[in-house]
Copies of this chain bind each other. A is one copy, B any other.
Amino acid sequence: MSANLLYAQSGGVTSVINASAAGVIQAARAWPDRFGKVFAAHNGIIGALTEQLFDLSFEREQAIADLRHQPGGAFGSCRYDLEDIKTHRPYYERLIRVFSAHDIEYFFYNGGGGSMLTAQRLLQVSAQLGYPLRVIGIPKTIDNDLPETDTSPGFGSAAKYVAVSTREAAFDVASMAGTSTKVFILEVMGRSAGWLAAAGGLAESTPGELPLLLLFAERNFHEPAFLNAVQARINSHGYCVIVASEGLRDDKGSYPWADTGASVAVSLASLVRKRLGYRAHWSVADYLQRSARHIASSTDLDQAYACGSAGVRLAAEGADGLMVTLKRMTDVPYRWETASTALSSVADQECPVPDQYISQDGFGITELARRYLRPLIQGEAFPPFREGIPYYERLQLKRVETQLPAFKME
């Protein structure tokens, strides 16, 4: 009998992480001689530790296919990273015991850099214990900060949300600027990487169309330069649209906003009002940008699915300890294929926006950045709607009977 496969989601979810799940599940079902049952852990690694597993063999084919449309993590995710093997050995060993109790020899971990580190450590422990485990990483992060891959599933859709929202809001503020609001600020996610702020630059159909001002996590915030740049845009266009990384820092590299309890957008709006005397509107997109499946990039969606199914193909071919990656063949037209890299080369790495992607003044993106980013937001993949809202097919989520004593987490 073939061994079973366990799939788990990790960290902040995206609007297309369930498409990766669909890719894994459908590919594994297509290979019955290699894979037995497909299980999913409830709430990521925590479900694996506590033996809270779903048996996906009860799910209809259509329900699995429909995971492509549903935002969030269909099986639950978690913000919980295992520490190093020394500190957390009982946890790693518990995972192996759970796997053993359920004949799980394939573990698919769908997450970012921190999750890949956990995956790598788990592999080490299984080797030490002589347990025949194959571990495959499926990339996921809206932050786009995983190395060794052209992009990470989830980013393209969040980027498209930011580009479209910025474009639409720019047309709104342009029509009000004569007598009312002249400045609009959109705060986007990215604590240490400004990729989503960069995506604001895609709001233009041609460079210079809109008076955009991007604030990157990679650039120190310098108040006079910022105020001058805002004023220059108001002088030329009558208004200014700002897209700011939540991780924006000041000259000293610290977060001046953290103390206010508010946010970068609130602080910038107050600054513009106080120093320049302009009324400023602001928006904080927060979860909306990573759950907006209704405006997902079909390129991103296809990549998310492909990463899932490619991982299964790799495992079927005997691969192990790899994360699936995306490899860009050409920019225009955008051609890509899946590839893979060792978990160790991506574990806990970060990947900021490179200097050559940020314009000289620090407030825009370069042509090189556009060439890189534009393909990632191509194509619309609208979900099915019923009664005016997106329709999500519900899974049965049948629990697997537990075999082991309960595990007490600290």
A residues near B (Cβ < 8 Å) are 9, 12-13, 15, 42-43, 46, 70-80, 160, 163-165, 167-176, 178-180, 184, 186, 202-203, 205, 260-263, 265-266, 270, 281-288, 290-295, 297, 374, 377-380, 382, 385-392
Whether A172 and B13, one on each chain, are in contact in the complex, defined by CB atoms closer than 8 angstroms, is yes
A407–chain B nearest beta-carbon distance, Å:
15
| Most B-side CB within 10 Å, residue of A43, A176, A179, A283 | A176
11 A-B pairs within 8 Å (CB atoms) are namely: A13-B172, A79-B176, A80-B179, A168-B288, A172-B287, A205-B387, A263-B266, A282-B284, A282-B286, A378-B387, A379-B388
- CB neighbours (8 Å) of A389 from chain B are 160, 163-164, 167, 202-203, 205, 377
- CB neighbours (8 Å) of A15 from chain B are 168
Secondary structure at chain A's binding surface: helix, strand, loop or mixed?
Answer: mixed
- CB neighbours (8 Å) of A294 from chain B are 164, 168, 295
Whether B282 and A283, one on each chain, are in contact in the complex, defined by CB atoms closer than 8 angstroms, is no
9 closest A-B pairs (Cβ-Cβ)? A72-B171, A73-B175, A377-B388, A172-B291, A283-B286, A43-B178, A168-B291, A78-B179, A79-B180
Bound: A290/B165 CA distance, A: 11
Known: A13-B175, A71-B172, A283-B284. 6 other contacts (CB 8 A): A15-B168, A78-B179, A168-B291, A261-B270, A283-B286, A374-B388
Whether A164 and B390, one on each chain, are in contact in the complex, defined by CB atoms closer than 8 angstroms, is yes
Residue of B nearest to A378 (CB): B388
- CB neighbours (8 Å) of A71 from chain B are 168, 171-172
A188–chain B nearest beta-carbon distance, Å:
11
